[in-house]
């Protein structure tokens, strides 16, 4: 059974800092890995999707990497802003069209 773990569970940084969120998964036979953002009381918003054949994806200040063989992904946020404060969730899809298995999330607070 696939298990997804995220470290740290919570992170507080001053505005402007670059930061890294970590995600690990137990079964490397994945189809893709996705990073989501969840604001309090809201649904999830997709940030980046990395196919299993890819090594990284970038969107603005966000960069996600994938090392399938070691079962790890990182989400890099450059020049953090207070508006980046949210919970970040990592999820893996094992086969096309199948379930997403989510990590517990990292709660990020960026202080002005």
For other proteins, the binding residues (CB under 8 A) are 31-32, 34, 36, 41-46, 49, 51, 89, 93, 96-105
Closest CA to 62 of 53, 45, 52, 71: 45
Q: Which is nearer to other proteins, 69 or 96 (CB)?
A: 96
Give me the least distance between CB of 17 and other proteins, in Å please: 27
Q: Which is nearer to other proteins, 84 or 93 (CB)?
A: 93
Concatenated DSSP letters for 57-99?
EEETTEEEEEETTTTEEEEEE-S--GGG-EEEEEEEESSTT--
Give me the least distance between CB of 102 and other proteins, in Å please: 4
């Amino acid at each position: 059974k696939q298990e997804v773990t995220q470290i740290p569970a919570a992170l507080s940084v001053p505005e402007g800092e670059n930061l890294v969120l970590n995600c690990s998964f137990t079964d490397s036979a994945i189809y893709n890995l996705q990073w989501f953002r969840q604001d309090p009381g809201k649904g999830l918003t997709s940030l980046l999707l990395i196919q299993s054949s890819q090594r990284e994806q970038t969107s603005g200040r966000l960069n996600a990497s994938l090392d399938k063989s070691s079962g790890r992904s990182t989400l890099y946020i450059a020049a953090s802003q207070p508006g980046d404060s949210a919970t970040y969730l990592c999820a893996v899809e094992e086969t096309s069209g199948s379930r997403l298995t989510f990590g517990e999330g990292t709660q990020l607070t960026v202080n002005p």
